[in-house]
Amino acid sequence: MKLQKISRILLMQGVVAAGMALTSCEPSTGEATQTITYPSLNFVTQLDGSGSMLSWGSYTFNFNYTEQKESVATSNLVVNNTTYAFSTNGVRYEDISPSRGMGLYAEGFAGNTGTSYQLEDCAFFISSFPIPEGVEYVPNKKWIPIIQDSNNPNKSDYHPGAMYRPNYDIPPLLVGRYRIGNLFDVVTCSTDMSFFGVTVTSYPPDNSYTTDKMIYRVFLDIKKNTADVVIYDAKFAEPAPALATVYLPSLKLTLKDGNYEIEGTDVVPMVPEGEGNDATLLPYPNFNFKHFKLSTVPGSLLSKVDVEYQVGAMFKGVFSGKYVNLPSKMMN
Amino acid sequence: MLLAFASLEGRAGSVGAAESVPDSLVTVLDEVSVTSVKQMTGLRDDPEAATILTRAALEQLGALDLRGISDVVPNFYMPEYGSRITSTIYVRGIGARMDNPSVGLNVDNVPYLNKDAYDFDIADIASVEMLRGPQSTLYGRNTMAGVINISTLSPMRYQGWRVMAEGGNGGRAKVSAGWYHKFSQKFGIAAIAAFSHLDGFFRNEYNGKKIDKENNWSGRLRFNWNLSSELTVQNVAASSFLKQGGYPYESKESGKISYNDTCFYRRFTFTDGLTVRYAPENFVLTSITAVQHLDDNMTLDQDFLPEDFFTLTQKKRDTALSEDIVVRGNRVGETYNWLFGAFGFFKHLDMKAPVTFKDKGVAELIEAHRNSANPDYPIRWDSRSFCLNSDFLTDTYGLAVYHKSDVTLGNFNISAALRLDYEHSTLDYHSYCSTSYTIYQRQGEDFIPYHKIPVDIDDKGKLSRSFLTLLPEVAATYMLPNGHGNLYAKVNKGYKAGGFNTQMFSDVLQQRLMGIMGIGAQYDVDDVVGYRPEKSWNFEVGTHLDLCSNRLSLDADLFYIDCRDQQLTMFPDGTTTGRIMTNAGKTRSFGGEVSVGWHLNDRVNLSGSYGYTNARFMEFFNGISDFRGKYIPYAPRNTLFLQGLYTLPTNSKILGKVVFDLNLRGTGKIYWNESNEDVQKFYALLGASVTLGDERLSLKIWGRNLTSTSYRTFYFMSMGNEFFQRGKGTEVGATLRFSI
């Protein structure tokens, strides 16, 4: 069980990095173009009030850097066993900033077999991870919580469960929203999201510990309606040791009013020890989570979460954080 | 600032062996020293806070190394602790305990690039010049707090034999012999050999043995060749071998010096400096080529307790080559003068630094830490001792060009200088360790093996950093009428090189090890060990005064230093034992210095110096605590030196004269930590000597710390334990000098 669990984490990490990129320079026009496909999760809210649902999907972006234009297309949005597809025209993208990402506000038509619908309020945002406060942005060095460099597993600075700045670029992250006719709203994002923010832990008699180093990573499994949560640099009190990686497996995933909640009680966390094939996930009963609850913030396009939990008998933690820095226009 | 008593001492010629040429300031500057090459006029005519100690003054002080002039030079403090590798110097609140020094050192024009070699005995010093405040514009890297220039005796100035023998308590024995010969007016050679031995003053209560014993061999070969009236060549090759115990660190808790593992320091050094001076009518071109090599081994019981925690060995082989070319207008006394220079160096450092964890270290520093987090699945190391190895190769090179213009208008002199300095450093590291531990699972009252974790660390990497900086200096001098001295004001920028702090790798490896056990955050190696240059702006006003028909000399100055990007160690959030090197601090220091020398009459010379420094952190958060407003640790607030000399002629050709010397050296307060919780109050050490003899043969009976004043020279923490080093008690001895 131990190795399989780790492999699963590594595999899911790999899925994020698996956005396939094809970069080229059109010989005929001399234009710089790129095509990237992002695996993602579609969060569908039906406009007739019949509920929300999750489905796998993917989005393909065609960039023309020469003209600063991009278009987006999908062919595998599945709702109630019906597959929808759309492809937008190339429109000018907004370069929010080199460190924050780029936004796409497109129009087009979506449809299933034989029917066409207006694509409305279509906005996508491609971003790097938000850089923690006080950290200097270094081009080509993005902050990510890393388990393994999937491009180079033998990297000398491979640090399991650590947060560090790798010297390679990672694929940007995706958040999108759009409406298909009067059928449903779709919010799309990765199934593997990491949330940065501030954690405040309180413990008796009247102590508190505040840190912005703890990162909460979420893996959603829509087939099982479960989620795994990984907390990096978990430190619940000033004098307590920091745990590099705390793994909370198979928490309950529920959909609620266009948002989701991840919840668990009496969860014994697992902490990886060792490296490579010799690694193991070890139960840490001393750090038993009496309860854990993660909720997406309504209106945030699933990009913000609130977390509250209790570790052992006395450590109560609260966290508010975000996945990407969405531009305000995206929220309108 | 010129320490007046020194020059007066030289003029008076009251003490010292015979020389062919009087040991005066003027003759010192006639030598091809780096100072005479770079200063536009005499040090005392320049806007410099400088102290010059002549050979006679140094012999009177009994100073054979830089520690001997601590406190004598105001605001200059070089404490004696640890071993000779720990040669930290503080000037005006600025110092560096790790890596690059804050004070530059040139010995016979060789710029010492490794501060591990700063503390050494050197026989037959001709002069020591200490320039305080940033000297980065002319002297380059690592001279942010000042520069020290040491010149040894030249065979062109002295011919014959010089022999010195000294003995004292603590089993002290020193001998040196020098042969100085001038084959012609054009060529002279000198060969000097020296040996010193110390039984030690401190005893390790663990085994009852003296621990600060020392043996030191050194030799120097020098030639001076005046090829023509325009072309001179000087070469000085020097070598030394040191073997010492050291590290008499006393536990604050037990009050005892007691540790079980071996501590020693061994060092071999070789330096060679070739100075070529070409001086036609209109300019002077000087080339200083230097090579230096250091091979040392520092081995420590790093916990300094009589228990098996951990030990450290640090072996270095450091080789450097440098070239400084200076062209200067030969227009002394004219309205405009100029100087151009170019400097380059290459330095290669090969270092190995293994840390060995022993049984108690494994149990309490590793296993207990991990098991407190997960007592249901405790671990036990499979072997009770293992080694964390770190090997480093560091290559550093630097290039610089500099210029100084000097304009004299009436009694005013204005000078401006600028240096463009580039430095590049690469670090190849290899950290490795092979060990393992076993995780056990609780079953009732028993624990059974659950999983074995191999720990095979084999991390390699290469880091590089480049630094480019401009270092300006502007100064104005007003020359007082009738040769009474001058007033000056100066603004300049100081610079301490950036680089890599390899000492941090043991922390990196320990964190890496803890990370394998699931505890603690990992480091980005570049962030942890790499650091940027430290920079400062220095504002200074001062005066050099000669009064009472030059019988009274007074130098005084006031300074303000704003230091940015200070290189400090801090504790990153989320870790338990680790530290990182970072440019986290801002400090400011202000203060003043005064030196007085009074040649009262032919029998009485009085001198003294006082330095005051108020140095505080303006910004420094070490990851746990905010130290804004706290005093900078290890830098003394006050330094004081007072000396009275009384010369009594005996009217006997055999006995010569008798010189009585009473002196006092004071230092403090010194805060030992950033929180300013531990402090060494101001203390003063009383010294005295009586010298009988003449210039050919003299015997000096001397004593230091005659009142057995108790004081501490160093403080540090290891594994949460506090340690001090006590200062030496009373020292007495006798020195015999013989010159023919």
Q: Quick one: A50 and A175 in the same domain?
A: yes
Of all residues in chain A, the one with the smallest CA distance to B526 is: A165
- From A160, A211, A274, residue closest to B574, measured CB to CB: A211
- Note whether A151 and A16 are same-domain residues: yes
Asked whether the beta carbons of residue B374 and residue A282 sit closer than 8 angstroms, the reply is yes
A156 to B520: CB separation less than 8 angstroms, yes or no: no
Nearest to A300 by CA among A146, A160, A197, A182: A197
Rounded Cα gap, residues A134 and B582, in angstroms: 14
Interchain contact B692–A (C-beta under 8 A): no
Q: Listing from the earlier edge strand, what are the strands of the sheet with B49-54? A: B49-54, B125-132, B146-152, B103-107, B110-111
Considering only the beta carbons, identify the residue of A2, A275, A286 that sits closest to B374. A286
State residue A17's pLDDT score.
37
CA distance A236 to chain B (A): 10
Are A243 and B574 inside 8 Å of each other by CB? no
Q: What is the per-residue pLDDT across B537-578, written as a single tens digit (0 to 9) for each? A: 999 999 999 998 889 999 999 999 999 887 776 655 443 445
Same domain membership, residue A174 and residue A62: yes
CB contact under 8 A, B459 and A156: yes
**Inter-residue contact B358 to B344 (CB < 8 Å):** no
DSSP B116: G
Helix (H, G, I), strand (E, B) or coil at B168: strand
Side chain identity at residue B177, one-letter code:
A
Over residues B507-514, mean pLDDT: 80
Rounded-to-integer distance, Cα A198 and Cα A210, Å:
7
Q: Do B453 and A273 touch (CB under 8 A)?
A: yes
Backbone angles phi, psi at B216, to 5 degrees: -140, 120
Q: Mean pLDDT for chain A?
A: 74
| Residues A233 and A162 reside in one and the same domain | no
- B374 interface with A at CB cutoff 8 Å: yes
Residue of A nearest to B525 (CA): A157
Q: Measure in Å the smallest separation between the Cα of B357 and chain A Cα atoms.
A: 19
Per-residue pLDDT tens digits for B232-265: 999 999 999 999 998 999 999 999 999 999 999 9
Partner-chain residue, chosen from B453, B460, B522, that has the shortest CB–CB distance to A278? B453
Q: Classify A77 as helix, strand or coil.
A: strand
Q: Are residues A262 and A286 in the same domain?
A: yes
Q: Judge: B376–A211 Cβ closer than 8 Å, yes or no.
A: no
Q: Is residue A233 part of a domain?
A: yes
Q: Is B634 within 8 Å of B95 (Cβ atoms)?
A: yes
Task: Tell which of A149, A167, A273 to mutate to test the B interface (max B CBs under 10 Å).
Answer: A273
CA distance A218 to B702: 76
Predicted TM-score (pTM) of the model is: 0.81
* Nearest chain A Cα distance for residue B428, angstroms: 12
A124, A151: one domain: yes
pLDDT of residue A79: 87
A213/B439 CB distance under 8 A: no
Q: Which of A161, A282, A286 sits opposite B375 (nearest CB)?
A: A286
Could you tell me if A156 and A205 are in contact, meaning their C-beta atoms sit under 8 angstroms apart?
A: no
Residues A81 and A142 in one domain: yes
Mind listing the pLDDT tens digit for each residue in A122-165? 888 776 544 444 444 333 333 333 333 334 433 323 233 333 33
Dist CA A63 CA A101 (whole Å): 13
- Across A194-198, B86-90, B181-185, which has the greatest mean pLDDT? B181-185
- Indicate the SS3 state at residue A293: strand
CB contact at 8 A, B158 and B20: yes
The answer to which of A263-277, B35-49, B350-364, B620-634 has the lowest mean pLDDT is B35-49
Chain A residues in contact with B524 by the CB 8 A cut-off are: 157, 164-165
Closest CA–CA distance from residue B314 to any residue of chain A (Å): 24
Q: CA of A273, closest CA in chain B: separation in Å?
A: 5
User: So what's the pLDDT on residue A53?
Assistant: 87
Inter-CA distances, A86 with A75, B62, B491, B731, Å: 7, 91, 68, 92
Residue in B228, B60, B97, A188 with CA at minimum distance from that of residue B68: B60
- SS3 assignment, position B195: strand
Residue A329 lies in a domain: no
Is residue A330 in a domain?
Answer: no
Q: Would the CA dihedral through A83, A84, A90, A95 be positive or negative?
A: negative
A163–B521 C-beta distance less than 8 A: yes
Best of A236, A243, A311 to disrupt the B interface (most B CBs within 10 Å) is A243
Under DSSP, is residue B65 helix (H, G, I), strand (E, B) or coil?
coil
Gap from B433 CA to chain A (nearest CA, Å): 14
Site from A141, A271, A282 to mutate, B interface, most B CB atoms within 10 angstroms: A282
Look at residue A332 and tell me if it is in a domain: no
CA angle B128–B96–B118, rounded 5-degree value:
40
pLDDT of residue B312: 92
pLDDT at B32: 58
| End position of a domain, from candidates A189, A206, A233 | A189
A287 at the B interface (CB within 8 A)? Answer: yes
In this structure, the answer to whether residues A182 and A85 fall within a common structural domain is: yes
Which chain B residue lies closest to A286 (C-alpha atoms)? Answer: B374
A282–B377 C-beta distance less than 8 A: yes
Which residues in A lie closer than 8 A to residue B570 (C-beta atoms)?
Answer: none
Mutate to test the interface with B, among A133, A157, A212, A286 (most CBs of B within 10 A): A157
B625 interfaces chain A, CB cutoff of 8 Å = no
Contact: B459, A162; criterion CB under 8 Å: no
* Domain coordinates in residue numbering, chain B: 4-739
Chain B residue with minimal CA distance to A241? Answer: B576
Give the β-pairing of B731-739 and B697-704.
Answer: antiparallel
Residue B619 to chain A, least CA–CA distance (Å): 15
Cβ contact (<8 Å) for A274 and B454? yes
Boundary of a domain, candidates A146, A174, A189 = A189
Output the average pLDDT for chain B: 88
Q: What residue in B sits closest to A214 (Cα-Cα)?
A: B574
Q: Which residues of A touch B374 (CB under 8 A)?
A: 271, 282, 284-286
B149 pLDDT band, cuts 50/70/90, is very high
- Report, in angstroms and rounded to the nearest whole number, the Rg of chain A calculated over CA atoms: 21
For residues A211 and A165, membership in a common domain is answered with no
Residue A243 and residue B373: Cβ atoms within 8 Å? yes
pLDDT tier at B622 (50, 70, 90 boundaries)?
Answer: confident
Which residues, numbered 425 to 484 in chain B, qualify as contacts with chain A under a Cβ-Cβ cut-off of 8 Å? 439, 451-454, 456, 458-461
The owner of tokens 């706290």 is B630
Are B460 and A285 inside 8 Å of each other by CB? no
- All residues of chain B having their beta carbon less than 8 Å from the beta carbon of residue A242 are 519-521, 574-576
Fold of domain B4-739: Maltoporin; Chain A (2.40.170)
Residue A269 in domain: yes
How far is CA B547 from its chain centroid? 34
In this prediction, residues A47-60 reach a mean pLDDT of 86
pLDDT score recorded for residue B134: 93
Structure tokens at B483: 């040769």
Q: What is d(CA B116, CA A241) in angstroms, rounded to the nearest whole number?
A: 36
* Helix, strand counts (H, E) of chain B: 9, 41
Spatial separation of the C-alpha atoms in residues A189 and A85, rounded to whole Å = 17
> A9-18, A264-273, B708-717: lowest mean pLDDT where?
A9-18
Domain count along chain A:
2
Shared-domain flag, residues A87 and A140: yes
Answer whether A209 touches B (CB < 8 Å).
Answer: no
- From A158, A189, A220, the end of a domain falls on A189
Same domain, A15 and A152: yes
Range of the domain at A204: 192-324
Number of H helices, E strands in chain A: 2, 24
pLDDT tens for each residue of B456-481:
988 888 989 999 999 999 999 999 99
Nearest beta carbon to residue B519 from set A242, A278, A283: A242
Of B101-105, B142-146, B316-320, B329-333, which has the strongest mean pLDDT? B316-320
| Highest mean pLDDT, choosing among B47-51, B64-68, B228-232, B269-273 | B269-273
Q: Are A202 and A232 in contact (CB under 8 A)?
A: no
Q: How far is A50 from chain B (nearest CA, A)?
A: 45
Q: Are the C-beta atoms of residues B367 and B332 closer than 8 Å to each other?
A: no
What is the model's pLDDT at position B16?
Answer: 32
Whether residue A201 sits in one domain with residue A185: no
The CATH number assigned to the domain holding A311 equals 2.40.160
Are residues B461 and A156, on separate chains, in Cβ contact within 8 Å? yes
**Are B141 and B498 contacting, i.e. CB atoms less than 8 angstroms apart?**
no
Q: Is residue A183 part of a domain?
A: yes
Percent of chain B with pLDDT over 70: 91
Residue B8 has pLDDT above 60, yes or no: no
Q: How far does CA A180 lie from the centroid of its chain?
A: 23
B512 in A contact zone (CB under 8 Å) = yes
Whether residues A244 and B376 touch (CB distance < 8 A) is answered with: no
Would the pLDDT of B39 be above 90? no
Question: What pLDDT is recorded for position B265?
Answer: 96
Closest chain B CA to residue A232: B521
Identify from B516, B570, B577 which residue to disrupt to test chain A contact, counting A C-beta atoms within 10 A and taking the largest count.
B516
Q: Hey, what amino acid is at B156?
A: M
Cβ <8 Å between B373 and A213: no
Model confidence at B154: pLDDT above 90: yes
A180 part of a folded domain: yes
What pLDDT, on the 0 to 100 scale, is given for residue A248? 93
Residue A211 and residue B516: Cβ atoms within 8 Å?
A: no
- What ipTM goes with this model? 0.71
